[in-house]
Amino acid sequence: MNKYVHPPAKKLFLQHLGLYLGYRMEAANGAPTLLPTLIRRVIDQFMTVTNRTSDVVRASYTQQACDAIKYCSPNAYAHATAPTVLTCKNVANDPLDTCCLVIATAMKDNQLVDYYLSHGVSVWSTTRAFDQPIAVAAMVRSVELVSRFLEHAESGLAETNKAKAKVILAKCMTSATTGTKGWEVAIVLTDWWYRHLPRPKPETILQWIYQAVDSRAAEFLHRILDHGITLTMKADLVRRVYQTYCGGAESQDFLAGALVDRGILDMSKFHHDARGFSGSLLALAVKMSNIPLARRYLDSGLGRNGLRNQKGEYEWPLIRAVEKADDDMVKLLLEYGTSPYPALSWIRVGAIVLDWKTEQRFKALLSAATYDARKEWRRDR
């Protein structure tokens, strides 16, 4: 077993744990027997409760259980390769019904799950060998099983240790939100949490929000924001939008859109981040070359030249876009009717330093926009 100590080998081993256990079920000697013995006990009970006797069914259950074990415990590697004597003794004393429910859950076998739930096995039950049944349901990302387990848990909620339930649900959320495919499960978990348990801690909610932003999990993000957040959390989220080093333009626009839609981020105000940047959402978009964010601001109907400062002066984001030689942003701002005069004036007096070719390109672009603006002004008169 020592050859599986190195992380790459360990990862490969866990990926093929089902194949390994399937072989171990047939071998008489060799590697530790902890999991093979436990699996045999579980399969014996599966055969009994389903009233099956066929060797084909037993073989099918056995291989399914072997393949499912990797979802049942964070210690599956240690149990398979180097269990201690104490571990073997403790696992032997684990309640078999709970072990059966856990493995049935990992197998996604609805018939077996229904049997153990109807016989009073708790979804919060803990064994030394495996995680809790509901945690395994979250690990395999089964919306159906998680929903059923939570519905089952409601009947005994008065007797449930709510602090323990919160810890288990937090673990379930970690499983569900790892990667990109478990957000439907996360929605079910958090909706139940908000209905039946004390609200999660602010730092926990913010962590979920940032994970959702990183994964572009729009439905989950909107659901959490709609559950309500504190003023301090709102301020933290607005700072996050303005902390331009976090997540890049795509994440920035994704979060900003959700906050704007819910009135948490006011586009008609200046905002500040921890590094001293101050400006409108349009100025921020220009700074980040964030076209979707700029378009979101411009579509809102606010000033195309940015907001006014305390002296009443516009931000003139077009000047910043020209300084950055950002052709796409310059064209977008002009498309929405931003005044070309200030930027063109800055180029002509040398306040904006560009290489000769870039300077000529922007002069031509801004001059054309100036001509169009004059022609439109004359027509309006």
Q: pTM of this prediction?
A: 0.82
Nearest to 197 by CA among 226, 170, 163: 163
Rounded to 10 deg, the angle between the 55-68 and 34-49 helix axes is 130
Nearest to 179 by CA among 219, 214, 209: 214
Take residue 117 and report the two structure tokens written for it. Answer: 């739930």
Take residue 165 and report the two structure tokens written for it. Answer: 């339930």
Tens digits of residue pLDDT in 34-85: 888 899 999 999 999 999 999 999 999 999 998 898 899 888 878 888 888 8
Nearest to 134 by CA among 166, 92, 163: 166
* Gap between the Cα atoms of 36 and 22, Å rounded: 8
3-state secondary structure of 278: strand
Amino acid identity at 124? W
Q: How high is the mean pLDDT in each 10-residue block of the chain (381 residues)?
A: 56 69 63 84 95 93 90 84 86 93 96 96 91 95 95 79 88 84 92 94 95 93 95 93 78 93 92 78 92 93 87 91 94 92 90 90 89 48 36
Strands (E), the chain: 271-272, 278-279
Tens digits of residue pLDDT in 334-350: 999 999 999 999 998 88
* Gap between the Cα atoms of 203 and 201, Å rounded: 5
Is the backbone of residue 109 left (phi > 0), alpha (psi -120 to 50) or beta?
beta
